[in-house]
């Protein structure tokens, strides 16, 4: 049976989202319905669909669920986390400017800043290959990955979702379209992976493109920016804080080293709200 669904379209550096309030309108979306909502011709159109649900853990404000445009549920989304914090505040679901949110991979803590940006404590990056997950018999921070006969030096990092970061001379000419899907589906990443292409500009500035798992290349990827800075610091190429230039805009990432959380600061913008009938 069809039903009407209220939604809000938001974006963080061009990484766009359909936000669903499942606190006041409880709903369980099917994969087909997620794909319909994400479709840019027949639905609303988005990179990911984000669902706000009541918290299931004491001391936490909300549950945060993330669905890629292909309908699959994933663990984490950094740009989405910033939009999530603004959405629940603007919708009156909370009057807190800092909240605690549970995801599939742990608790994050977004905070609305006075200047309108949002800072998110993204948690401690996971570097142990088995926990990324990345199939390897080495725990080195830089490892070779065979991509269609080419050896690519990658750093495997999980920010709640898996990333493979490589350093390139110029992101504008990097083989994102060619290597991105091959890395995403590489057998050494059993849960698939987000492929990051990192260009170092100077010690505190980088440029980044990310081919996202289940979404393809997006204008920006928040967890990808976090993973890229972690990889750059581990390789001795950059120092915290780091400005990350994406095709959609700029994020600031701070990280004090192994065992400490990554802080991400950037914009979150409401585009429009509406209502549609689900098939």
> Does 79 belong to an annotated binding site?
yes
Residue given tokens 């006969």 in the structure block: 149
Residue 244's Cβ-side half-sphere holds a number of Cα atoms within 13 Å equal to: 36
Q: Is 76 annotated as a binding residue?
A: no
Please name the residue that has the structure tokens 């319905």: 33
Counting Cα atoms < 13 Å in the Cβ hemisphere of 188 gives 19
Q: Is 199 annotated as a binding residue?
A: no
Q: Is position 223 annotated in a ligand binding site?
A: yes
Taking the C-alpha atoms of residue 45 and residue 42, their distance in angstroms, rounded to an integer, is: 8
| DSSP assignment string, 71-132 | S-EES--HHHHHHHHHHHHHTTS---SB--EEETTEEEEEEE-TTS-EEEE--PPB--GGGT
Q: Which two tokens stand for residue 137?
A: 């018999």
Residue 113 CB contacts under 8 Å (≥ 6 apart), including other chains:
119, 265
Q: Is the peptide bond before 43 cis (omega within 30 degrees of 0)?
A: no
Catalytic residues: 77, 221
Selection from 169, 181, 262, 186 nearest residue 224 by Cα: 262
Q: How many CB atoms lie within 10 A of CB 190?
A: 12
User: Any idea what the Cα angle at residue 278 is, between residues 273 and 276, rounded to 5°?
Assistant: 25
How far, in Å, CA of 167 to CA of 142, rounded?
10
Distance from C-alpha of 175 to C-alpha of 166, rounded to nearest angstrom: 11
248 in a known ligand binding site? no
Tell me: is residue 68 an annotated ligand-binding position: yes
- Asked whether residue 161 is marked as a ligand-binding residue, the answer is yes
117 is in an annotated binding site: no
Q: Which residues are annotated as a binding site for substrate?
A: 15, 48, 68, 78-79, 161, 194, 212-213, 222-223
Q: Which residues are annotated as a binding site?
A: 15, 48, 68, 78-79, 161, 194, 212-213, 222-223
């Amino acid at each position: 049976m069809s039903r009407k669904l209220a939604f809000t379209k938001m974006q963080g550096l061009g990484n766009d989202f359909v936000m669903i309030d499942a606190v006041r309108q409880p709903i369980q979306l099917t994969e087909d319905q997620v794909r319909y909502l994400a479709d840019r011709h027949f639905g609303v159109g988005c990179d990911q669909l984000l669902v706000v649900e009541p918290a299931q853990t004491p001391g936490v404000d909300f549950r945060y669920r993330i669905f890629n445009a292909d309908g699959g549920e994933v663990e984490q989304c950094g740009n989405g986390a910033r939009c999530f914090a603004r959405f629940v505040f603007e919708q009156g679901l909370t009057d807190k400017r800092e909240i605690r949110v549970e995801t599939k991979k742990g608790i994050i803590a977004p905070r609305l800043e006075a200047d309108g940006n949002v800072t998110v404590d993204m948690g401690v990056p996971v570097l142990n290959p088995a926990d990324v997950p990345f199939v390897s018999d080495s725990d080195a921070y830089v490892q070779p990955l065979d991509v269609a006969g080419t050896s690519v030096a990658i750093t495997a990092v999980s920010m709640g979702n898996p990333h493979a970061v490589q350093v390139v001379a110029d992101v504008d000419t990097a083989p994102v379209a060619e290597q991105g899907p091959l890395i995403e589906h590489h057998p050494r990443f059993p849960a698939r992976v987000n492929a990051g292409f990192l260009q170092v500009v100077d010690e505190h500035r980088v440029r980044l493109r990310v081919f996202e798992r289940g979404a393809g290349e997006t204008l920006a990827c928040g967890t990808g920016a976090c993973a890229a800075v972690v990889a750059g610091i581990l390789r001795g190429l950059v120092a915290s804080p780091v400005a990350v230039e994406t095709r959609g805009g700029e994020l600031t990432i701070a990280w004090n080293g192994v065992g400490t959380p990554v802080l991400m600061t950037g914009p979150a913008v409401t585009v429009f709200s509406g209502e549609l009938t689900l098939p």
